[in-house]
Structure 1
Amino acid sequence: MNDWNIAGTLIVQEVTERPDLVAEPVADALDSVKAPVGIAEIDPELADTAAFCEAYSSPLEASANCVVVAGKRAGEVRYAAVLVLATTRADVNNVVRRHMDVRKLSFAPAGEAVELTNMAYGGITPIGLPSDWPILIDAAVAQAPELIVGSGIRGSKLLVTGTALASLPGAEVIEGLAQ
Structure 2
Amino acid sequence: MRNWTVAGTLTVEPAAERPDLLAEPVVKALATLDDSDIGAVAIDPELADTAAFCEAYSSQMSASANCVVVAGKRGGDVRYAAALVLATTRADVNGVIRRRLDVRKASFAPMEEAVSLTGMEYGGITPIGLPAGWPILVDMAVADAEELVIGSGVRGGKLLVTGALLASLPGAEVIEGLAKPVE
Aligned-partner Cα distance in 2 for 1:33–1:59: 26
Q: 1:9 is matched with which residue? A: 9
Aligned-partner Cα distance in 2 for 1:141–1:122: 19
Structure 1, residues 54-105: CA drift from partner, whole Å, max 9, x if none? 0000000000000000000111000000000000001111110001101111
Aligned pairs for 1:150-165 within 5 A: 150-165=151-166
SS at 1:39 equivalent: strand
Q: 1:28 is matched with which residue? A: 28
Aligned pairs for 1:92-103 within 5 A: 92-103=93-104
2:72 paired with 1:71: yes
Structure 1, residues 99-141: CA drift from partner, whole Å, max 9, x if none? 1101111100000000000000000000000011000000000
2:50 paired with 1:49: yes
Aligned-residue CA RMSD in angstroms? Answer: 0.8
Q: 2:106 is matched with which residue? A: 105
2:87 paired with 1:86: yes
Query: Number of aligned pairs?
Result: 179
Identical columns (%): 72
Residues 148 and 160, structure 1, Cα contact 8 Å, conserved in 2: yes
SS at 1:33 equivalent: coil
Structure 1 gaps of 5+ residues are none
Q: 2:177 is matched with which residue? A: 176
Deviation at 1:20, TM superposition (A): 1.2
Structure 2 gaps of 5+ residues are none
Deviation at 1:46, TM superposition (A): 0.1
TM-score normalised to the size of structure 2?
Answer: 0.96
Where in structure 1 do 4 or more consecutive aligned residues deviate above 6 Å? none
TM-score normalised to the size of structure 1?
Answer: 0.98
SS at 1:89 equivalent: strand
